[in-house]
Amino acid sequence: MSELVIHDATVVTVDEENRILREGTIRVEDGEITAVEPTEEADRRADADRVIDADGQIAIPGLIDAHRHTDFALVGGLFSDLDGDHLLREAISLYHNAEKELGDSFFEAGWELACLRQLTNGITTVNAMDFTPEIGAEAVGESGLRGVIGPELADLLKPESPAEQLAEARSFIEEYHDTYDGRVTASIAPGGEVGCSRKLWEGVADLRRYYPDLRLHTHLYDTPEADTMAAASGADDPIALLDELDLLDERTLLTHLLHADEDDARRIAESGAHVLHCATVYSYFRAGAQTWFPLPALREAGANVALGLDDPFWFDCWDIIQEAKHARLLANFEYGAHQLSSYKLVKMLTIDAARALGMDDEIGSLEAGKRADVVLFDVDARRHEPFSNLPSLLTNTITGGDANTVIVDGELLMHDGVVKSMPVEETVAAAERERSRLQEKTGWKTSLAGSSPPEKSIVRRISARPIIRAIEQYGHGFVSEHLP
């Protein structure tokens, strides 16, 4: 007897043959897909623990957010009307003060809200880099979702020494890698050339030799000063730095590359490293205005590119389908039409992202032998019918909010729009409570009409900190948007 049978779905498999089944059946046993075939009459009367009639719904592989930060999920609504410089000042002051003034309960509520946002947008897997990885691993594990979580290492931005941060990363890996039935795994996550000293990079190289199966997840070329920062670590540029330390290969994930040129793109592609692109956050705040992600060069050189929301709480959108839309619009605006086809975007959100994470044997497509991570989108609605071009429908018309049913490892985490795996009311109540505390402590004001930052920014109180000196010296472009 099957554990789960989904019948009469329109199935976009994203398998090697790129099959699309008009009326398809997905069979699942022990959390694994055992068959994806055209629906037969017997499937409608299948003997299974659970049978889902998915008539009028599209089934696709669970969506993957390939680069995200989560710690500050609760600041949603505060930052989205600020300009880039102001955003950065307020973010830094929050990041520096939140840990001691708000405590674990703030981050726990944030991670749980993030899981709820992720789940209800059809994102079954997240690749996260955060300063509260233990809280994250437990929140993701308990929610039934899948997550690769890296403790963000950045000795130029955090008070702990490289040795202390590396020791903490090692104990995180030992405690949380391959937990929750394998749904939660760990990565090694140095923040990038801006936040890490040579000493830290060398420690990262040691850590990676010790854990060769883990992904190395970092930011690269997100500021124009990337080469200068790499020079401070004794290398010609960031790619040379990684290469020299044996950190640049097919297990490496490089995020942003806003200031990488064509030659950099070629070197990255030749190394086999994967690229994570986050179009929304940079275009929204107009950072990196002088250059843009070198998509044509990466494509020509054959690099694998996946997509991420990065800091969804800064611009108030947790929908990775909209992220894909923005990636295409900005690429077309910069380089001319047809930079990314609709079906390529679907692949970038599924199988390409799975390949980047080294999980393409397990997830990223709907085919026998893979884990059953499936999202059903309800398209039996007036605003969608009639339709023909499914890749276009999936990337131009529907949104993450159209996700109706979300399955991970064969478990129904959301069914017919009802969340099953998380206590929704408690999650929302905790988020509201912790957010009120944040506002009381910082002076942020919010109303239904918008938000306003504290009149006297607490940045002044922390102006002796090195990161503020760096901003004063180099301007905001010096700093990535990811700060402790």
- Write out the residues near Zn ion by the rule CB under 5 A: 310, 482
Instruction: State how far the Cα of 342 lies from the Cα of 321, in Å rounded to an integer.
Output: 11
Q: Are 64 and 357 in contact (CB under 8 A)?
A: yes
- Strands 146-153 and 123-130, how do they pair? parallel
Closest CA to 171 of 199, 201, 137: 137
43/310 with CB nearer Zn ion: 310
Nearest distance from residue 54's CB to Zn ion, in Å?
35
Q: Rounded distance, CA 4 to CA 222, Å?
A: 44
Q: Encoding tokens for residue 418?
A: 């009802």
Q: 259 or 482, CB closer to Zn ion?
A: 482
Q: Given the complex with Zn ion, which of 192 and 453 has the nearer CB atom?
A: 192
User: What angle separates helix 424-442 from helix 104-120, to the nearest 10 degrees?
Assistant: 130
Residue 329 CB, nearest distance to Zn ion (Å)? Answer: 20
Give me the DSSP letters along 107-154.
HHHHHHHHHHHHHHTTEEEEEEEES-HHHHHHHHHHHT-EEEEEEEE-
- Name which of 43 and 225 has its Cβ closer to Zn ion: 225
Q: In the complex with Zn ion, which residue's Cβ is closer, 134 or 152?
A: 152
Compare residues 268 and 374 and give the one whose CB is closer to Zn ion.
268
The least distance separating Zn ion from the CB of residue 62, rounded to whole angstroms, comes to 21
For residue 282, the minimal CB distance to Zn ion (Å) is 10
Q: Residue 384 CB, nearest distance to Zn ion (Å)?
A: 33
Nearest CA among 292, 297, 319, 298 for reference residue 308: 319
Closest CA to 319 of 395, 387, 265, 386: 395
Give one word for 138, left, alpha or beta, with left for phi > 0 and alpha for psi -120 to 50.
alpha
Q: Whole-number minimum distance, CB 425 to Zn ion, in Å? A: 31
Per the CB < 8 A criterion, the answer to whether 218 and 207 are in contact is no
Any idea what the Cα angle at residue 58 is, between residues 359 and 337, rounded to 5°?
75
Contacts of 204 (CB under 8 A, 6+ apart): 153, 166, 188, 190, 196, 216, 245, 247
Q: Which CB, 226 or 430, lies closer to Zn ion?
A: 226
The residue (of 180 and 315) whose beta carbon lies closer to Zn ion is 315
Q: How far is the CB of 255 from Zn ion (least distance, A)?
A: 5
Q: Per DSSP, what are the bridge partners of residue 411?
A: 408
How many Å apart are CA 33 and CA 8, to the nearest integer? Answer: 16
CB of 189 vs Zn ion, minimal distance in Å? 10
**Is the CB of 71 or the CB of 402 nearer to Zn ion?**
71
Break the chain down into helix, strand, coil percent, rounded to 5.
40, 25, 35
CB of 69 to Zn ion, least distance (A): 6
